[in-house]
Amino acid sequence: MVTLHGMLLRDLLPQHAIPSLSEFRQRLGLTKQYAWMLWHGKIALSADMMRRLHGELEIPLEALLQVERATPAKRRGRPPLRPRTRQTEEGPGHV
């Protein structure tokens, strides 16, 4: 079993006879959206999902514990116009 730093679920599943997202979704009976988010690392594996993957697909827990969430993309958009100060956080008229 090959393990990598930053390994996603989609990197692990082909080693356990699940080569595609649709196969993953069908084997566990997941919705398309939930399966896609797990496959691409948009959400982390919960303890319950790790138990399911271990029980139904016989994937070792040691391997599942190494699966990480993908690094989120940087937020787009413009930065705030000015930094917030203590006075603006407390609101007007606060002493």
Q: How many CA atoms lie within 13 A of 43 on its CB side?
A: 11
Q: What angle do CA 19, 20, 25 make, to 5 degrees?
A: 120
Residue 73 within a domain: no
Q: Of 71 and 58, which is predicted with more confidence?
A: 58
pTM: 0.69
**Residue 78 falls in which region: left (phi positive, over 0), alpha (psi -120 to 50) or beta:** beta
Q: Are 13 and 21 in contact (CB under 8 A)?
A: no
Average pLDDT over all residues of the chain: 85
Q: Is the pLDDT of residue 3 over 80?
A: no
What's residue 82's pLDDT?
78
Residue 20 within a domain: yes
Q: How many domains does the chain have?
A: 1
Rounded mean pLDDT, 68-83: 80
Taking only the tens place, the pLDDT of each residue in 20-66 is 999 999 999 999 999 999 999 999 999 999 999 999 999 999 999 99
Q: Are 24 and 35 in contact (CB under 8 A)?
A: yes
Q: State the Cα–Cα distance between residues 26 and 23, nearest whole angstrom.
A: 5
Q: Are 21 and 36 in contact (CB under 8 A)?
A: yes
What's residue 74's pLDDT?
78
Residue 2 within a domain: no
* Alpha-carbon dihedral sign for residues 61, 15, 72, 55: negative
CATH (domain of 31)? 1.10.260
